[in-house]
A and B are shown apart, each in its own frame.
Chain A
Amino acid sequence: MALSSPTPKSANSSAASSNNSSASALRNISFWFAVSALICLLLVDIDISTADPWAELSLMTAGALSPSVWSWPTLLSSLANTFAFALQGVTLAAIAGFTLALGYRFTLVRAFCAFIRSIHELFWALLFMQVAGLSSLTGLLAIAIPYAGTLAKIYGELFEEVDSAPANNLPPSNRRPLSHFFYSVLPLAWRSMATYTSYRFECAIRSSAILGFVGLPTLGFHLETALSDGHYSEAAAFFYALLLLIGTLRLWLHKRLLPIYLVAVFYYLPPQATISWQLLVRFVTEDIVPGPLRGQVLLSSETFNNLSQWFNALWQQQIWPGLVNTVLLGQISLVFTGLLALALLPLNSPLFMGHGRFMDHGRFISHSWKRGIGDSILVLLRTLPEYLLAFIGLLILGPSMLPAILALGIHNGAIIGHLLGRYTEEFNLRADASRGITLYFYEVLPRIYRQFLAFLFYRWEVILRETAILGILGIATLGFYIDSAFETFRFDVALLLILVSAALNISVDQFARYLRQRLQLKTVPESL
């Protein structure tokens, strides 16, 4: 035994800085994230500003318990529209995303995909509305474009991940690279692609419903009207329709029936719009061009001065405050999401919701009614779009960042909690493992922590995109200024702000990728 054994204290402190502890890097990053969120929390307004939040809540509860359909044709047509936009959008996105993924090794293609997915579907909708109006084409493109960027990324990463042995075993030749791809790569990635695409379809239904908040004829349109007018029973009917649509997908959206549904949705809601070409040309060549540049001689010093004044004013009044609020709210929501995910994961874990007995291998019996109920709660929370949750939160709690934090945390926390719970199925615990809270902190938390951070960093970009969008509801993030710019027909300002929010999302995505690599976290998402 070595005589120079370090004293406990120095051994402990040196462990934090040495490479021998896998936990220290993860612990440090978690610590700094938590500290940053606490600081952010001091800087933002999280007051409850309504006089009596309980009164509004009880009215809503009463409404939720007595749903009433004000008009069946309206309900059914908005349900059909929601489904149609989602299915059309994801189909187009899958085709475009697949094509883009074929060239995913090119930096330019990757950058293009990152750009189109960094702009939220609501922003795309607001842009297309200016030229194509509240048309079916607007709804289709608003979903298809950002989803194509996301699917391209996932497909591209899946292609890179597949076992390279089959491709290497083909006779070497570069004459038919696509044929090689279809025979040796695509079949291996197909199953994961299908799983992920069907998950994105569920997301697309949420997106489609939310498009109603900016005027498209989906469930969100009627939800917003009913909620704003305080007709909570009517709102409840639309709300349940949305839950039912998402909740029963598995029962009726079979692979074989897909062609029939596709024909049906394109027949029911053909993507069309009456586009005035004059308007389109004006929009592209004038409306979105920064004001000081319109009809001016470029490269003149006067134009340049005007432009820089225009930009400076925008920066001080809108871009900077919007950026700061988006980042603050995003950071708080991210950490809150993480905490909720860790708190919720036992609901979907056989270790906590099982029969309480170990099997021979130390594995738990994975099916139990307790876990069934627990996971249903998570799936329900996950099904609620964060935009809708935030809207309801604002009605109850009044305008502050609190409803947004709660909405983002609940939705995203439930998603991550669900996945982490499922992850615990794989654990081979010893027969003498502890129980309850001790089991959670000593066995489960350390084992899932790496995966947890990987999931959370994946979600970071999504949370930030949503944070920006919640501005449309009146929280002073970038979306608030973008929405105001659209309302006052200052499309040049709107476009600039949209580009700023895109740049922010891309930077955060890059930073999260860097962190994942540095902490050696798993880089391929399962279903996020």
Chain B
Amino acid sequence: MNQSTSQPAPLFQFSDQRLQYQGRTVLDNLSLNIARGERVALIGESGAGKSTVLKALREQCPDQVAWCPQQPGLVPILSTFHNIYMGALDSHSLAYNLINLIKPLPGALNIVQPIAKQLGLEQQLFSSTDKLSGGQQQRTSIGRALIQQRPIFIGDEPVANVDEYQGEVLLQLICQGHETVVLALHDIAQALSTCTRIIGLQDGAIVLDALSEELQASDLAGLYGAS
């Protein structure tokens, strides 16, 4: 059932699990293993249950996951610097965080600046995020995940608001920085080129689970609007 059995113990494990979203059952009898080192793409129409699966994954090992939601959820009047730094709040003392809020501290800048540079945000480092474009906001959101330096990245359409080329670059960046990656994606080409394994969801059930090297784009087309 799980093709990548090279790793001994799976990182995430569901067996016959029922997943709910706002009190409504979205997935019944979910059985799924994801191993360390895998790069998984969840694809399927909206409402198929992708976000619900991602949430359940986050809850399985919250301390190892860097999370990147579909809505960046940035704090509008704070700068790009602060919004990226917010990913690292828990690894600094309260006093440090508060001083850094008033005046960016050199230590924090040293961590944030290289990330902003990678994301092409160095010119916007001290702009408020409400002055950024949608794509820049999404990159800031990815920055907040990158700064956490967690082994697992879980993202819900993390590059939906940027163009294809940039999306490709950002996904590479995400894969470089994280051992295990699980993404909900709607772009089939991106899913095939970035991820090693594709899981297709339809009407609350897994209808496809295969290695991407064994798949063609046409195999996946049916997952969207097939009805």
Q: What separation, in Å, do the CA atoms of A360 and B21 have in the docked complex?
A: 7
Write out the residue numbers on chain B whose beta carbons fall within 8 Å of the beta carbon of A360: 21-22, 55
Query: What distance in Å separates the Cβ of A269 from its nearest Cβ neighbour in chain B?
Result: 51
Contact with B79, one of A5, A23, A431 (Cβ below 8 angstroms):
A23
Write out the residue numbers on chain A whose beta carbons fall within 8 Å of the beta carbon of B76: 22, 446-447
Write out the residue numbers on chain A whose beta carbons fall within 8 Å of the beta carbon of B122: 1-2, 5
Q: Do A442 and B75 have beta carbons less than 8 Å apart?
A: yes
Q: Do A438 and B89 have beta carbons less than 8 Å apart?
A: yes
Q: What separation, in Å, do the CA atoms of A501 and B94 have in the docked complex?
A: 45
Query: What distance in Å separates the Cβ of B39 from its nearest Cβ neighbour in chain A?
Result: 21
Q: Do A11 and B22 have beta carbons less than 8 Å apart?
A: no
Q: What separation, in Å, do the CA atoms of A438 and B113 have in the docked complex?
A: 22
Name which of B77, B86, B98, B130 has the most chain A CB atoms within 10 A of its CB.
Answer: B77
9 extra interface residue pairs, beta carbon distance < 8 Å, beyond A14-B126, A20-B126: A5-B122, A11-B125, A11-B126, A22-B77, A22-B131, A434-B86, A434-B90, A438-B94, A443-B75
Q: Do A20 and B131 have beta carbons less than 8 Å apart?
A: yes
Query: What distance in Å separates the Cβ of A339 from its nearest Cβ neighbour in chain B?
Result: 16
Q: What separation, in Å, do the CA atoms of A1 and B128 have in the docked complex?
A: 20
Query: What distance in Å separates the Cβ of B138 from its nearest Cβ neighbour in chain A?
Result: 13
Kindly supply a per-residue 1/0 record for chain A positions 439-465, scoring 1 wherever the CB is within 8 Å of any chain B CB and 0 otherwise.
001110011011000000000000000
Q: What separation, in Å, do the CA atoms of A431 and B123 have in the docked complex?
A: 28
Q: Is B50 interfacial (CB-CB < 8 Å)?
A: no
Name which of B67, B78, B104 has the most chain A CB atoms within 10 A of its CB.
Answer: B78
Q: Is B160 interfacial (CB-CB < 8 Å)?
A: no
Q: Do B126 and A15 have beta carbons less than 8 Å apart?
A: yes
Query: What distance in Å separates the Cβ of B170 from its nearest Cβ neighbour in chain A?
Result: 14
Q: Do A437 and B126 have beta carbons less than 8 Å apart?
A: no
Q: With A1-B120, A26-B77, A430-B67 as known contacts, state yes or no: A21 contacts B106, CB within 8 Å.
A: no
Kindly supply a per-residue 1/0 record for chain B positions 189-203, scoring 1 wherever the CB is within 8 Å of any chain A CB and 0 otherwise.
000000000000000
The 3 A-B residue pairs with the shortest CB-CB distance, nearest first, are: A15-B126, A22-B128, A430-B73
CB contact list, B129-158 vs A, under 8 A: 130-131
Q: Is A428 interfacial (CB-CB < 8 Å)?
A: yes
Name which of B82, B94, B125 has the most chain A CB atoms within 10 A of its CB.
Answer: B125
Q: Do A20 and B97 have beta carbons less than 8 Å apart?
A: no
Write out the residue numbers on chain A whose beta carbons fall within 8 Å of the beta carbon of B90: 434
Contact with B126, one of A12, A442, A447 (Cβ below 8 angstroms):
A12
Name which of A360, A429, A446 has the most chain B CB atoms within 10 A of its CB.
Answer: A446
In the complex, 13 of the A-B residue pairs with CB atoms within 8 angstroms, ordered by the A residue number, are A8-B109, A11-B125, A12-B104, A12-B126, A14-B126, A22-B76, A360-B55, A362-B73, A428-B71, A431-B69, A438-B97, A441-B97, A442-B89
Q: Is A432 interfacial (CB-CB < 8 Å)?
A: yes
Q: With A8-B104, A441-B98 as known contacts, state yes or no: A429 contacts B131, CB within 8 Å.
A: no
Q: With A22-B128, A428-B71 as known contacts, state yes or no: A442 contacts B77, CB within 8 Å.
A: no
Name which of B75, B101, B123, B130 has the most chain A CB atoms within 10 A of its CB.
Answer: B75
Q: Is B186 interfacial (CB-CB < 8 Å)?
A: no
Q: Which residue of B lies closest to A437 (CB)?
A: B94
Contact with B117, one of A1, A359, A441, A449 (Cβ below 8 angstroms):
A1
Query: What distance in Å separates the Cβ of B182 from its nearest Cβ neighbour in chain A?
Result: 15
Q: Do B78 and A446 have beta carbons less than 8 Å apart?
A: yes
Query: What distance in Å separates the Cβ of A15 from its nearest Cβ neighbour in chain B?
Result: 4
Q: Do A442 and B97 have beta carbons less than 8 Å apart?
A: yes
Q: What separation, in Å, do the CA atoms of A364 and B147 have in the docked complex?
A: 26
Kindly supply a per-residue 1/0 record for chain A positions 1-44, scoring 1 wherever the CB is within 8 Å of any chain B CB and 0 otherwise.
11001001001101100011111001000000000000000000
Q: Is B58 interfacial (CB-CB < 8 Å)?
A: yes
Kindly supply a per-residue 1/0 record for chain A positions 406-434, scoring 1 wherever the CB is within 8 Å of any chain B CB and 0 otherwise.
00000000000000000000001111111
Query: What distance in Å separates the Cβ of B34 from its nearest Cβ neighbour in chain A?
Result: 19
Write out the residue numbers on chain B whose beta carbons fall within 8 Å of the beta carbon of A359: 22
Q: Do B128 and A21 have beta carbons less than 8 Å apart?
A: yes
Q: What separation, in Å, do the CA atoms of A82 and B67 have in the docked complex?
A: 57
Q: Is B4 interfacial (CB-CB < 8 Å)?
A: no
Query: What distance in Å separates the Cβ of A135 from its nearest Cβ neighbour in chain B?
Result: 53
Q: Do B82 and A442 have beta carbons less than 8 Å apart?
A: yes
Q: Do A8 and B75 have beta carbons less than 8 Å apart?
A: no
Q: With A5-B117, A434-B89, A437-B94 as known contacts, state yes or no: A450 contacts B106, CB within 8 Å.
A: no
Q: With A11-B126, A21-B128, A22-B131 as known contacts, state yes or no: A442 contacts B101, CB within 8 Å.
A: yes
Q: Do B117 and A20 have beta carbons less than 8 Å apart?
A: no
Q: Do A429 and B82 have beta carbons less than 8 Å apart?
A: no
Write out the residue numbers on chain B whose beta carbons fall within 8 Å of the beta carbon of A443: 75
Name which of A428, A442, A447 has the most chain B CB atoms within 10 A of its CB.
Answer: A442
Query: What distance in Å separates the Cβ of B48 from its nearest Cβ neighbour in chain A?
Result: 16
CB contact list, A444-503 vs B, under 8 A: 446-447, 449-450
Query: What distance in Å separates the Cβ of B202 from its nearest Cβ neighbour in chain A?
Result: 21
Contact with A5, one of B101, B106, B123, B131 (Cβ below 8 angstroms):
B123
Q: Is B161 interfacial (CB-CB < 8 Å)?
A: no
Q: What separation, in Å, do the CA atoms of A429 and B106 have in the docked complex?
A: 28
Write out the residue numbers on chain B whose beta carbons fall within 8 Å of the beta carbon of A428: 71, 73
Q: What separation, in Å, do the CA atoms of A93 and B95 have in the docked complex?
A: 51
Name which of A2, A432, A450 has the most chain B CB atoms within 10 A of its CB.
Answer: A432
Name which of B73, B122, B124 has the most chain A CB atoms within 10 A of its CB.
Answer: B73
Q: Do A23 and B86 have beta carbons less than 8 Å apart?
A: no
Write out the residue numbers on chain A whose beta carbons fall within 8 Å of the beta carbon of B78: 23, 442, 446
Q: Is B127 interfacial (CB-CB < 8 Å)?
A: yes
